[in-house]
Chains A and B, each alone.
Chain A
Amino acid sequence: MALSMIESLFSQASYTSQEEIDRICQGVLENLYAPDKTNECMNQLRQLYFILQASHTEPCLPRNMISTLVNMVSSMDHDKTKECLLCEQILAELLPREQEDLGSDFYPSSNYQNATSSANCFPLYLMQGNKKFCLADVIPHAVRWMSSGKEDFNVQRQAFCFLVSLQVLHNRLVNEETMKTVNSTASDWLMNASLYQLPNPYTINPFKKDQAPVVNEVDGTPSRNFFTVLNIGQYYTNDQFLNIYSFSMLYKWLYHSQTSTEEALDVASKSAHVFKSLVDKSIDYCFRILDQCERKPKVSSDIDLQNCCLLEVVNILDMICKIEPGHVARVFQEVRRLYQRLMHELDKPRLLIPVLQFFLNHGKSVEHDPQEAYTLFFHKLLTQCYLDPAFSFDTITFIKDNLETLCHNTNVLSTYFPNILKMLAWNPRSYLADFEEILPALMSPNTAIEVFHMLLDLPCVTVALEITERCKKSEVQTLSTEAEPTSSLSAFQSALYRPMFNFFTRVEGGHGDTINRLSLFHNILGDMNQHPRVLVCSQVVPVLLRIWFDVVLDDASSDFLSHLIPVLLERTAFLYNIPGYQGDVRKVLAENVVHLLKKYPEILYDQASEIKDFLISPRNISGREEFFANLVWCVGELCSVRHDNRCTAETITRFFDTLEVLTYELSGMSSANLKEEISNPSKIICMLMSSISKLASKCQDLIPRSILLLTKVAKQQQTSFLDTEIKDAVVGRAQELINLLKLPNFANVVLNPDDEIETGRWHRDNTSLPITLRCVQHILS
């Protein structure tokens, strides 16, 4: 009901005609100052705003309408606040546009400078942007109004907000002089707000005491120090509000100013001189906040505020130490004290992240070793809090921001990668892009294989986490040792399988793998394979696997890759059963086994026995045709003395033996049997025939055997029950190879072309085979 109403409102608004809009504008202009038509006017303004937001092309508004809107905003009439604010919204929607449309009063000009009305337009200047350098022209006015002390609160506030926003959005526009002025004014506001409460502005009390009471601390005791955002009063004065604004915007101002001066000056000492006054005052303010955060608030919502303040303060102090490293020693002590406190109350895990960042940035200069803090964070806290979306987001942001340092200077990532990957397993939708970046850093020569296993089993990690969480709520402690469990839940309560759950939700890496019983475990978790979290998780795995292989193929040693082969052979069989998942993963494995062997063909020799064991059994084909076929291709193509001089005739013969046996076996199987196991047997047979011929052409003693084999296969296939089309293809292929092998020298050139064939030179060079053949053909015909 409510939603269908929205749809109809939208379609109504987007089909409003220009006449209708003109009529509304006319109505607004007529009713705006008519005292008895306030409601009507408000409705027209609402309607106009609605149409503007819903329409795809901007409707044309009369020029006097726009200048009226500008006037409304700049006047910000108290009795018409709602109307004025709505006008501001409408204008914000219409900006940026040609300056002529906005009227001459829009920008402050040198001869007519009404600070109040210009200040109300500051938000609009930001929307209009630096068109024809108009923002740059406004800056001097803003600086003057903010710092002169002559303007009223609203003007100062607007000017300050404007300058900070400018720094955030267009930080090249604010120059050093401006920064200095803002710095000194803001530091004044930070330190010198009045300590007294504002009397209730809504009542007139004739018996009012001369002096209002001082503001309180959050725990109710009267404040004895300067005013901060954590002081409680009945009402606040304007200068106290300026104090609140200054602190609220301090970090953003420092952060964006610092990056801009860094670019401009390149010297820390110079930026220190620009920020001199502000830096000292900010430290005092931050230290006071740290003190105030140790008080216990009377109102619970102020506890949240204290936490926000702590986060902000650590960030500010971090920035200050970057600007002026001389303060590190003093600040470090305070941050460390905060860390000690947070360590004992672990209910504020997010606050530890900026503290960790601070240690990481400045620990070196005071010879502090952050290892203990890392362990606390990545071991204990992450284990407890990976479910919390805010915590996991902040943690991932922290890891990403410090990827280089964490990866090269610490072992945090390679130690705690199982814990870190849990965040992905739990939120596969949200963090894929982040983990594409993080994954390479989790891999070290020692952990890469374990990371590989964990990626392949990531959907199981998701299941394990999901089950663990469910069981946390229903607290079943005793483990049964009886019957074989039938579901994921009962497996979790079984003494036999609980260790598997613990393994998949482990905190640290380096505990090897549990390939035994893995397929049993996969089967038991089968009831969870349609859970949305698990499904999405299974979709991200192939993406990350590709990245894993890219890294490994780029950086890993041939030794490492050699050891990877048995793992690949093994894992193609053991994958969690989710529709589509096994196929996707096997495809990635199949592609990459080729890349891997092409890059280091000598691995074929090193791992010959593993590979032969794999290839000898037709059982290994089922479900893994592509991987199997690619491996067969690699053997035929890459097993050559050209790639590895250890590759003797004997090596080739052994591979040949394996393939020969397999081919006879496959070809001999009745086609019904074959189809049950292998979806596309003729492809495998063709691949085998090609590889056998390639091997034979490299070791000519084998040619008679292979001709015999090919002849037999052709005969057997002829009588098989395959489709005629496929049959013809297989038989034809066998015949071609036989003909080729009858001319051994040709066979060698055709079946084992030089690597240069890829460069294309062969098609141009006079001595190349195709050209020679063409010549011969030419002469003969």
Chain B
Amino acid sequence: MVYAFVIHTLLPGPCRVLYHNVYGQDATYSDEVNDAEHKNRRRNHIQLIANEVHSEYQFRRAVQSRAVEDDIQRMGNDDTLPDFEFGCIRLPEGNPFTVERIALWLGAGNSGFTLVCEKSENRLLAENVLKILIRFIQEHVRVINQPSEARLKSDKIALILSRFLPNGNLLFMNHRVVRQLEKEVENLMKL
């Protein structure tokens, strides 16, 4: 089970979290922490991770001198997805979570997609599933062209996640399984 899925902006300006879904609590809940503080902390953790990805992406762009506009332009021409930057960021024990977790991200243009994984997660699979998620989110919400859509059409993203990342679980999906879930999503999308 992944801890969270996040969509956020990348360059330029401050990093904004456009959509996030958290699948569980960080540590065993203690009654001492009050609920509001707990929720606040949860939100801050997500922002913190998005910022990390943002600055890593910024660095990658700087060393490659690849411009955001190129990505967007390629997107405008046809429906092919741009080349994604890929990376992993270690979130060490105690900062920000009580256990070590790993943020695995893909980014292109102005949009970043991050899975916050447990250490026991299969990262090859996580990368695979993340690509599938991006493919369908782009298809239904066009998030890479218009990042604000992720903010506004959260129900569509929720639907895609509920099938391809059910309860935050990474599934081994062969191409026919993907197709079957895709059909299910398409039908539900129309309702």
Chain A residues near B (Cβ < 8 Å): 2-3, 5-7, 9-10, 42, 45-46, 49-50, 53, 56-58, 79-83, 85-86, 88-89, 92-98, 122-123, 126-127, 129-132, 157-158, 161-162, 164-165, 168-170, 172, 202, 218, 229-236, 244-245, 247-249, 251-252, 255-256, 299, 301-302, 304-305, 307-309, 311-312, 315, 350, 389-390, 393-394, 397, 429-430, 433-434, 531-533, 536
Contacts and interface: CB of A to CB of B under 8 A. Distances in A.
Given A6-B148, A305-B128, A308-B122, A122 B88 contact: no
User: DSSP class of A's interface residues: helix, strand, loop or mixed?
Assistant: helix
A430 B154 contact: no
Contacts of A249: 1, 169
A86 B155 contact: yes
Contacts of B59: 429, 532, 536
Given A95-B39, A168-B118, A252-B121, 14 more contacts: A2-B148, A3-B12, A9-B148, A85-B158, A96-B39, A165-B24, A202-B183, A232-B176, A234-B176, A236-B177, A251-B120, A252-B120, A390-B88, A429-B59
6 contacts: A168-B118, A229-B174, A232-B175, A305-B173, A311-B122, A533-B63
Contact of B1 (A58, A97, A236, A252): A252
B62 interface: yes
Interface residues of B, number: 75
B167 A430 contact: no
A627 B147 CA distance: 54
A82 B25 CA distance: 24
Contacts of A299: 175
B28 A126 contact: no
A256 B24 CA distance: 15
A49 B188 contact: no
Nearest to B190: A82
Interface of B: 1, 9, 12-13, 16-25, 28-29, 31, 35-36, 38-40, 43, 55-56, 59, 62-63, 86-90, 92, 110, 118, 120-125, 127-128, 145-148, 151-156, 158-159, 162, 166-178, 180, 183, 188-189, 191
A390 B123 contact: yes
A302 B121 contact: no
B62 A130 contact: no
B1 A86 contact: no
Contact of B167 (A82, A129, A165, A247): A165
Contacts of A85: 155, 158-159, 162
A89 B158 contact: yes
B170 A6 contact: no
Nearest to B16: A6
A127 B122 contact: no
Contacts of A80: 191
Contacts of B123: 390, 393-394
Contacts of B183: 202
Contacts of B146: 2
Nearest to B158: A85
A45 B156 CA distance: 12
Contacts of A122: 167
Given A50-B154, A58-B36, A247 B125 contact: no
B175 A126 contact: no
A687 to B, nearest CB: 42
Nearest to A43: B152
Contact of A433 (B23, B55, B92, B191): B92
A430 B18 contact: no
B146 to A, nearest CB: 6
B175 to A, nearest CB: 5
A130 B29 contact: yes
A79 B191 contact: yes
A126 B155 CA distance: 21
